[in-house]
Structure 1
Amino acid sequence: MQGKMIKAAKVSDFENRCVRSVRILGRHVAIIKNPDGSFRAMEGGCKHQNADLTTGKVSNGIVTCSWHGWQYDIESGACVQGGSASLRPYACRVEGDDILISLQPVDPDASSSSFVPFE
């Protein structure tokens, strides 16, 4: 179930960048533009020490936290390097120039809202 879609950003916001941080109803969400032009959305804070993932590097479908190098798959939110705590992916779609996100997690069991320091 996708839930209500909320306008979060514009496609034109990504002309010179591939990742952007937004706040939606108090939640920190990272929106990532793939090389093919599609978009993904996920929790925006690293599970290690809650660093903003949008300051990290995105390459080959992986976002790397700029603080300590934890890495997450941008499709699933799974942590692939550094720890075992995954990020929640959110449904995301484009309508015209608008990027819409559902805050209902794609997989409600993917994560908790807490971070896991020093794992």
Structure 2
Amino acid sequence: MNDWIEIGKLDDIPRRGARCIQTGSGRIAIFRTAEDRIFAIDDRCPHKGGPLSQGIVHGSQVTCPLHNWVFSLDTGLAQGADEGGVRTYSLQLHGDRILIDAQSLTALSAA
């Protein structure tokens, strides 16, 4: 059974925007789409290290602000001709509370 940690409220994140949480292993960007879907991925683009949390959210994708690489918020994979990806994290929305899977954070710390 999974343990879940509350990391904020849905209204803490603007639509088509992001907020970050800091973990022992780095920053995780929490995104909210225009349809109020939520996603969590590493906040560092593998291409040049750009902060994905500062990118443009469109549909269920985000575009890196440095060199326009596009990543799927569902899978973390680069889209189009670009290759690579970022780690994704499991989230749940309970009412207006955003919860992250503690097990994925533990696995991150062990890696």
Bucket of the pairwise TM-score, normalised by the shorter protein: 0.7 to 0.9
SS where residue 11 of structure 2 aligns? Answer: helix
Match of 2:77 in 1: 78
- Check the 8 A contact 1:20/1:54 in 2, yes or no: yes
Using a 3 Å threshold, how does the CA distance of structure 1 residues 27 and 3 change in structure 2: closer, same or farther? farther
List alignment gaps of at least 5 residues for structure 2. Answer: none
Question: How far 1:75 moved relative to its partner?
Answer: 0.7
Deviates more, 1:8-17 or 1:88-97: 8-17
1:67 corresponds to which letter in structure 2? L
Encode CA deviations 1:25-65: one digit per residue, 9 max, x unaligned: 44311111122212111111111122111111011221001
Which residue of structure 2 aligns with residue 46 of structure 1?
45
RMSD: 2.4
SS of 2:12's equivalent in the other structure is helix
SS state of the match for residue 19, structure 2?
strand
Which sections of structure 1, spanning at least 5 residues, go unmatched?
Answer: 114-119
Q: Which residue of 1 aligns with 2:58?
A: 59
Q: TM-score, normalised by structure 1?
A: 0.75
Residues 82/53 of structure 1: CA separation in 2 closer, same or farther (3 Å cut): farther
1:1-119 to 2 correspondence within 5 Å? Answer: 3-15=2-14, 18-81=17-80, 83-102=82-101, 104=104
* Identical counterparts, % of pairs: 25
TM-score, normalising length from structure 2? 0.79
Q: How far apart, CA to CA, are the structure 2 residues paired with 1:99 and 1:51?
A: 25
Counting matched residue pairs gives 106
Q: Which moved further from structure 2: 4-13 or 85-94? A: 4-13
For residue 9 of structure 1, what is the amino acid of its counterpart?
Answer: G
TM-aligned CA distance change 1:17 to 1:78, over 3 Å: closer
**Distance of 1:16 and 1:36 partners within structure 2:** 8
Distance in 1 separating the partners of 2:83 and 2:34: 27
Bigger drift between 68-77 and 89-98 goes to 89-98
In 2: Cα distance, 1:81 partner to 1:31 partner: 23
> Comparing both structures, which one devotes a greater share of its residues to helix?
2
